[in-house]
Structure formats: structure tokens, C-alpha cells
Structure 1
Amino acid sequence: MPFRFALHPLLRGLVLPAALAISAAASTTASAAPEAEQKAPPGKVAHPEPAAAPAKLDNGKSTNALIGLLPPDSVTRHDITLDGHRIGYTATAGTLELRDEKGEPAARVFYVAYVADGQAAEKRPVSFFFNGGPGAGSAFLHLGAAGPQVLNFPAGNPTDGANATLSANPDSWLRFTDMVFIDAVGTGYSLPEHPDDAAKRFYGVKQDGSAFAEAIRIWLGRNNRTRSPKYLVGESYGGIRSIKTAYALQTEQNVPLAGVVMISPAIEMGLLDDRDNPIDDALLLPSLAASAAAASGPVSPAKLDEFYRYAVGSYLTTLANAPPQGDAADAFYGKVASVTGLPKEVVAKERGMLSVQAHDVRSRDGRLYSLYDGTLSIADPYPEGIDNGDSPDPVLFGFGLAYGNAVTGYLAEQLGFRTDLKYDLLDYGVNAAWNFKQDGDLVARSTPDLRKLLALNPSLRVFIANGAFDLACPFSTSRYVVEHLPLGRDRIRLKVYPGGHMLYTRPDSRAALAKDVAALYTRPAP
């Protein structure tokens, strides 16, 4: 899950307190361990000497007292049954040490790796996962989409995080790839050695990509996986992160990739700001329309295409010209209202340029709808109206936080990684400190790096998954980027699923996503 541009690349301009860091308490858990895991023997944990022990404060180098709370790496044995086949695997929860240009410790990067038994390293893919934000830990993809366990929300009330439960994940990607989930520095359990220098060293677009590339190169070397097919999987701002990391792996670490998977990605930040930008408004409209149409039943790909063509056609040209007047305005606002399901007076007030931050756009009939899924709502705490920035998002501030609670208990109780540290699921301090600039651009661009990657690596394949009802990273932004690439479009697949930003919270979409990604991994190289 990402934030939105301005603070949080998901929150379309919503300004949140920079000092607020939402984290999971280290002593809580979501549910009991599922029966499908922790075999041979249940709960047995090995604690080998880690390759690099946590830095000690008495060495005169680290200034982060929290480093001492990181335990040694924990290695556990498990098995899971997927599609009727038992898969035994080893889980490692631990840290990788990053060093600066002088060879001094710079950060401890937390990761969880799952490696299946009895696989040939040169044939078995390995995938590296990360979320976005910037400032989000990897628990969302870990326990939401691909890991051996999945966090399930009540079917009758998907916004109820208090009653979320963990169980074996029938759609785990372990069926077709080994997996390494990595927390960015400043998130999860990943810590900078020198917090005062962390923003300069890690909290920026290029620095972040280089840090991830270094961590991946270290893991590959330590685990004898340099010959394995390698993939990156990023969600939300993780789309930008995956492109920047892929480019850093190629150019800085000598590690070419087999593929990149982007889930609900932010690819070009300039397409995610709906303030006085007709193109961005047009790319948002199809997700608003799909969210409204979903109230009447499934929304077909043909219907999504219809919404897209209207948005980049007559809707966009109308916005780009002088605002319509008289009968023309009445017809235009009426059409937009019918497509989006919003009251015509709200559409007219916004002059057809619909900001999903506006309270009267998000609030209808006493319900407050989410930026992350336009079909999900909670009772509006301020149905009489309130300043836009004070309306809590049902996902960001609600059930999505259950992932922090769940991962804390899972890591401690099932993977043997116990610590008094809190797991920083969403750290707004990291987000507020983020430097989005690069190479003179006020907001770093990813498409130029994607173009170069597709040219430099003729076998690189890209899969992009979007949720139809995602108002934070609308599916149309991905389509727009792909359609405007001058090369490599035949190696990129874009698919839109029923769901929002975290499309995998819907079991059917999670299963479909796993099936589609498996096909990408098993397809012969071009």
C-alpha cells in the first residue's frame, strides 16, 4: 500500500501529520497458527550464527540504540499443501547489513525468505517483494498476496480488521517461486545505523533503488542464487521502486532480471495528482465509473474500455477547453454524473474535475468511501461535512492496519523472530522526509528507466496488475504509460481485476493474480 503524492503517493494531496507513525504493537497477534504450517517438528526454531551479527553500540559507530534489539536470524522448517501437492520449505527471518562507501555499517535491512526444498537453483525463480509508501513495510504483500499465510477479513464485513484471521494461503506464490520480502530502511524492522543521516542516505528515489539493489545482491550471493531467474514484485510506490531497483541492479550490481511484477503501481507520479490537471482527471474517471457500476454487478473488461475511451476522448477535450456554459454545461455535468454515480450538483460544483479528496465526492448517503477501493465504505463520522483532510480513509486508517498486528505475531510465534521493536507498517516520518527529485526533475520519472531496461534487456518481461476500483493508483494510469512506450509493449501485460488498491483482499482476485503471475514465470523467454 502506498501513500499518495504530496505526502503519500496514494492520498491525492491529503496532508497528514508528518510526526504520525502508525505501527503495530510487538506483543500482539491476529490469530492462532494454521494447521497447514509448522511441521517437522511444529514450532522448532533453529538459531544459527548470523552471517553478520547485529551491530553493537559500544563499537563507537552506530548511533541507533534500537539496533541492539534486533535478534539473530531465525531459521525454521515448514510445509504447505498447494494444489494437492505438499511443499516443504525453509523460512529465514533476519537482517542484511548495508555498508557505506567507507565500508562502515549503514543499515540493517529486515527480510523474510521462503525457499522450497529440493529445487535446482539455476531453474527455480526467486522473487523479491516490497511495498511502497514511501514508508510502508512489506507486510501487505507478505500476508495479503503471496506468502505462505494470508490475512482474511470477514466476508460479510471486509472493513472489519479487528476480526481478521491468519490461515494457510491456498494461492501462495511458493508454488512457482522462492520469495524474499524486504522492508525498506525506516519501515518494518529495517533500521538505519545513523538515524540523523537516514534521510540523505536512504529516503530518496535513487538512493532507495540503490539500497534495495545492494540488499538483493547480498542475499543472492550469500544463498548461492546468482544463477536463478530473478524477479521483482512491487506494490503502489513499489512500482517506481521496482523500476529504479531493476535499473540499479542492471547498472550498479551487474544483475539482470527475468521480470518485474507491479501491483497497483505508481509508475509516473505526475499522473497521480488531480489538482488542475485535465489528463490526471481523465485517468481517474474510469475508476470512479467502475466503482459506481460495480453496485449493479460485475464490471466487464469491455465496460472498463468504454469508460477509458470516454475519459480520454470527449471528457478530456471538454476539460481541456474553456468550461462549458448553459445547455452545454448542463449536458456535460449530467453525463459525468450518470457515469460516476455522483450527484449532478456535486459534479457541477467541481466543474467536472472530480477530486477524490473532496468530502462531497467521497461521502454519499451517510457513507464514506475509500480512496483505495471506491466500492468500500464505512459510516461517515462527519456526514454533515468537514474539511477534506479530516475524513479517515477506511483502508489506510482502518482495516489495513491489521496487517501490522498480524505480521508481528506471525514473525514471533511461527518464524521465531522475537523482538521488543515495533514493526513500522506505515511510517509517516519516512514519507514526509522523502526526496522525490532526481536528475533535475521536481518529481522523479520512471518511464525513462523502464524504456532503457526494455532496450538493454531484450528478455525482460513486465506484468502490471491493477484494481478496477482503485482511486489512488487508477488502472488508467498504467494503461496510459504502457500505450505510450515506443518499444517493448509486446513484453508487457496489463490486467485489471475486480478490487481496489489491495486487490488481493478479494479471494477470487488473489487467486487469479497468482495464476496469471505463474504463467508469466513459466513462459519461455522471448
Structure 2
Amino acid sequence: YERWDSPLYLVGESYGTTRAAGLSGYLIDRGIAFNGIVLVSSILNFQTARFHKGNDLPYILFLPTYTATAWYHKRLPEDLQASLKDALREAEEFAIGEYASALALGDRLPEERRKQVLSKLARLTGLRPEYVDLRDLRIHIWKFCKELLRDERRTVGRLDSRFKGIDADPSDSDPEHDPSMSAIMPPFTSMMNHYARTALGYKTDLVYEIFGGVKKPWDWGSAGEGHPDTSEALRRALSKNPYMKVFVASGYFDLATPYFATEYTLAHMGLDPTLRGNITTAEYEAGHMMYIHGPSLGRLRDDVAAFLSNT
């Protein structure tokens, strides 16, 4: 298209943020620099989101989103229900402070201190203290999704924890499905098929695959031996091109790529202090796809427009 002299931007969402960050580092090494990158619901360092044995990081970084979810469903104590921002601030401080140090001690955690952490964890998650104790202070995402509204015989969503689901067996330990995905997929399928047939004039009996199996054939190379992480590629791109800017959008109710995990990743890139201002973050009272929430869509549009005008 003969557009080599035009501004260049990358936009990635979810797994697309993994690709966008990796691509920025790959292309800068080949002489192609970007003006800006927009990351929506980011996952760059997979250690922050993989509940593997011995990896306590996700338990810490998912906690504020558990708090946001419990707040939305009115499961927090009265003082925390008063303000989402205040509740999140308390959850964040507890997560990276008292909670993180308690998990680091493992079986060496003194019993009295364990009781204190357990009580605060129950307060910030809306879960029963007995259940938190049973889980050894470590709440897996699927356990949380199943347990929070168990007394209502309802589950909460992973992509967007504002959504409620109904399972055939309320006694199971994990949800049968993600109710937010179940709610979102049908309108997207209908919309895309309608758009293809009416606006594009493309008619086919082929099934429109929302996911299309894009995850399964990935070749992680040596990164597959541990937790994949493309944040280093993004750091390299920013270091080699200090004029590049990055905008990062996250949803408070996103249990797939929690906002606090994104903040952790960005804070652990080893970025030069002079470049930290190149990254702008924004949070929205919505989930993984914050643009399905009307007010958040408007904010996101304005935020991205402002970002583009400044790059």
C-alpha cells in the first residue's frame, strides 16, 4: 500500500497483546519501529496467570479482581461496599504486603499470623473463612468463580465476573462453563454473519469460529519450557525506540487477565526510569472485553483517541 512513511501502530487484545509485545521486539531488531502500541486486556508474562504448583504469584495478583467481583455482587462487608476504589486499594496493599509475605513463608507461617491473614482474605474476597482455610489461603480462579455465589446456586464469569451462570450440579468444585463467554458468543456470531452477508456480500455455509483454535498450534520454542513472557521484547522495543508510546487498557472485572497482574508485569520489565512515562494505563468498570459495557466503551474510545493524538 506504499505506506512506509505513515505512522505505525500495533493493537492487540488478550493473546493479541502477547503477540503485539513480541512483535514489537522482533521488528525493532529489523529496523521497523512503531509510534504506539495499544494493549487491551494484557497477558505478557504467563507466570502471573498460571496456577501451577509452587507458583504463588497468581493468588496474589488475582486478589484485587476477586475483591472487585465480590463488590459487584455485594458480598463484601459494609465498609468495603461503600467504594470500589477504596476496596481495591485495601486489596492491593494487602496482596503485595501481608498476603505475599505469608505465602512466601509457606508451612513456616506462624498459626496466629495465619489466622490474621485468613480473616483478611475472607473479608476481601467475600468467601467463607472456613473455605479460605480449606484452600490453605490460596484461592484458585475456578474455585472462586464457583464458590462466591454458591448459596445462590450461581457461578461468576471468567472473562467478565459481572455475569452469573447456572450449573447442573451446584455441589461441583468447578463451574461447568464461563457464563460471560456463553452470553457474549451468540451476539458476536450473529453480528459477524450478518455483517459478512449484508455489508460484504460474502455468503457461505462455513461455520464462523470465534476462537478458531488460534491457541493450539502455537510454537513457544524455548519459552514453552517455562512460563512464556514477551514483556522483555516490549522493553527492548521501548529502549531502542524511546519515542514509542504504549497504552494499556484493563477491566476491573476481568478474571482472565487481571489488571493487577498487568501492573505487576509492567513494573517488572526493568524499564529505564526515563521511559516509564511512555506507558499509560487505564482501568474500566467492565471485564475482559470492556467495550461491551456502554460507559466503558465511551471512555475507551476517548482514551485511545487521546493516546493516538499524542503519538
Please list, as runs of the form range in 1=range in 2, the aligned pairs for 1:414-493 lying within 5 A after superposition: 414-428=199-213, 430-438=214-222, 441-485=225-269, 486-487=271-272, 488-493=275-280
Q: Is 1:239 aligned to residue 4 of structure 2?
A: no
Query: RMSD over aligned Cα, in angstroms?
Result: 2.2
Give the distance between the partners of 1:401 and 1:438, measured in 2 at CA: 37
Give the distance between the partners of 1:515 and 1:265, measured in 2 at CA: 19
Note closer, same or farther for the CA distance 1:462–1:351 as it changes in structure 2 (3 Å cut).
Answer: same
Give the distance between the partners of 2:200 and 2:223, measured in 1 at CA: 42
Give the distance between the partners of 1:362 and 1:401, measured in 2 at CA: 26
Bigger fraction of residues in helix? 2
How far residue 292 of structure 1 moved from its aligned partner, in angstroms, is 1.3
- Stretch deviating more after TM superposition (438-447 or 462-471): 438-447
Please list, as runs of the form range in 1=range in 2, the aligned pairs for 1:285-434 lying within 5 A after superposition: 285-294=63-72, 295=74, 296=81, 299-300=84-85, 302-323=86-107, 324=109, 326-358=111-143, 360-361=146-147, 363-364=149-150, 365-383=152-170, 385-386=171-172, 388=174, 391-428=176-213, 430-434=214-218
Give the distance between the partners of 1:427 and 1:362, measured in 2 at CA: 31
Give the distance between the partners of 1:370 and 1:377, measured in 2 at CA: 6
Give the distance between the partners of 1:280 and 1:328, measured in 2 at CA: 21
Bigger fraction of residues in strand? 1
Please tell me whether Structure 1 or Structure 2 has the larger radius of gyration of its CA atoms.
Answer: 1
Per the normalisation by structure 1, the TM-score is: 0.53
Contact 2:67/2:87 (CA < 8 Å) preserved in 1? Answer: no
Give the distance between the partners of 1:246 and 1:474, measured in 2 at CA: 23
Q: Would you say how many aligned residue pairs link Structure 1 and Structure 2? A: 297
Q: 1:255 aligns with which of 29, 32, 35?
A: 32
Helix, strand or coil at the partner of 2:234: helix
Helix, strand or coil at the partner of 2:250: strand
Give the distance between the partners of 1:369 and 1:309, measured in 2 at CA: 25
Query: Match for 2:215: what amino acid?
Result: N
How far residue 421 of structure 1 moved from its aligned partner, in angstroms, is 2.6
How far residue 423 of structure 1 moved from its aligned partner, in angstroms, is 2.0
Deviations 1:209-265 (A, max 9, x none): xxxxxxxxxxxxx3x32222121111111111111222333334x432110011111
Contact 1:346/1:360 (CA < 8 Å) preserved in 2? Answer: no
Give unmatched runs, 5+ long, in structure 1: 1-221
Contact 2:126/2:148 (CA < 8 Å) preserved in 1? Answer: no
Q: Is 1:225 aligned to residue 3 of structure 2?
A: yes
Helix, strand or coil at the partner of 2:84: coil
Q: Which residue of 1 aligns with 2:77?
A: none
Note closer, same or farther for the CA distance 1:424–1:298 as it changes in structure 2 (3 Å cut).
Answer: farther
Q: Which residue of 2 aligns with 1:41?
A: none
Give the distance between the partners of 1:397 and 1:373, measured in 2 at CA: 11
Q: Which residue of 1 aligns with 2:289?
A: 502
How far residue 395 of structure 1 moved from its aligned partner, in angstroms, is 2.1
Q: 2:46 aligns with which of 259, 265, 269?
A: 269
- Stretch deviating more after TM superposition (314-323 or 412-421): 412-421
Note closer, same or farther for the CA distance 1:418–1:249 as it changes in structure 2 (3 Å cut).
Answer: farther
